[in-house]
Amino acid sequence: MHPSLPSPREITVEFDGRTIAARQWGDPAGEPVLALHGWLDNCASFDQLAPLLSGLNLVAVDMAGHGRSYHRSRDANYNIWEEVEDVLGVTRALGWHDFSLLAHSRGAVASLLSAGAFPERVKRMALIDGLVPPPAEDHQAPEFLARAIAQRARYGARKPRPFDSFEDAVKARANGMFPLSDAAARRLVARGSVALADGGVSWSNDPRLLATSSVKLNRAQVQAFLERATMPVRLVLARDGIVEILERLPALLADRANFTIRELPGSHHLHMEGGAEAIAEWFGPFLRGEVD
């Protein structure tokens, strides 16, 4: 974080026997906004963007299995639609009847599912480089189920990867599936690792997050969620982000007047790097309800 920017408050949210760790930014009396990060990230994903969004009561959570939040039980999965129940549980515990969503990547998918299932609860969505999962073909269902069961068993028996030092973990995160700057990787690793007795570190994420979903949405189901998400939506696409998102989403949303798309320079994690100010300038008035 920039030294001149305000620091967040560390909080925990309890509901239904689950504990979600989070960072709360801004004015507790401001517009309520729940921030959801991407796959294998954590709430530090918003450390650069959140302080630039004034007038909000912004709570950025570590989603289940990530960061410092609870891990799902041994008989449970990390299917993307299960995040919807946690979104409702967190907002209920915070005393929010309706709220807006700020989300990145996998968190954006969870946001769309939440908004489609409970459109009366979500006022607006501000999304970054993500929206819907790639739709599956119906004939793939048996294959996906078999793969999910096998992967759940394999990853359930796996221990988190150890590193000799914090610096080694930072290098690994910076060179991951979506390359990150050193500063962005450090923020995520600081939140998403635990110290080992030998002086090294390991990931705090649940290895079962690596398993595929047991069932995936088909095209008709994806369209059904989109049709119910009628609230205003602003979507930032990263110019150097996930190619299939750039190619697929504009056509998918062509006839949806409530969606506004803006392409900005940067990679998939542009909100953690050079794109934070441009995103905040566009998202800020929107999330405060000053514009649609």
* 3-state DSSP assignment of residue 54: coil
At residue 40, the pLDDT reads: 97
Residue 174 lies in a domain: no
* Domain assignment of residue 229, yes or no: yes
Could you tell me if residue 162 is inside a domain?
no
List, for residues 202-214, the tens digit of each pLDDT value.
999 999 999 999 9
Counting residues of the chain whose pLDDT is more than 70, the rounded percentage is: 98
User: From CA 147, how far away is CA 102, in angstroms rounded?
Assistant: 31
Residue 41 has pLDDT above 90, yes or no: yes
- For residue 14, the SS3 value is strand
Catalytic residue among 100, 105, 111, 267: 105
Residue 95 domain-assigned (yes or no): yes
Is residue 1's pLDDT more than 70?
Answer: no
pLDDT given for residue 267 in this prediction: 95
Q: Which of 130-139, 167-176, 189-198 has the lowest mean pLDDT?
A: 130-139
- Cβ-based neighbours of 273, under 8 Å, separated by 6 or more: 48, 180, 181, 183, 184, 266, 267
Provide the pLDDT for residue 5.
Answer: 55
105 is catalytic: yes
DSSP result, 57-85? EEEEE--TTSTTSPPPPTT----GGGHHH
Q: State how far Cα 58 lies from the chain centre.
A: 14
Is the Cβ–Cβ distance between 11 and 22 less than 8 Å?
A: yes
State the pTM of this model: 0.96
3-state secondary structure of 21: strand
Q: What is the pLDDT of residues 12-40, one digit of tens each?
A: 999 999 999 999 999 989 999 999 999 99
Domain membership of residue 187 (yes or no) is no
Instruction: Give the pLDDT confidence score for residue 2 in this predicted structure.
Output: 47
From residue 39, alpha-carbon distances to 62, 63, 90, 198, 280 in Å are: 11, 9, 19, 28, 22
> What CATH code is carried by the domain that includes residue 131?
3.40.50.1820
Ranges assigned E (strand) in 129-227: 162-163, 193-195, 201-203
**CA-based radius of gyration for the chain:** 18
What's the whole-number average pLDDT of the chain? 94
The answer to whether residue 280 sits within a structural domain is: yes
Domain extent for 15: 9-135+218-287
* Residue 91 located in a structural domain: yes
Query: What is the C-alpha end-to-end distance of the chain, expressed in Å?
Result: 29
Q: Is the dihedral of CA 93, 96, 97, 102 positive or negative?
A: negative
Q: Would you place residue 3 in the very low, low, confident or very high pLDDT band (cuts 50, 70, 90)?
A: very low
Q: Is residue 190 part of a domain?
A: no
Provide the domain count of the chain.
1
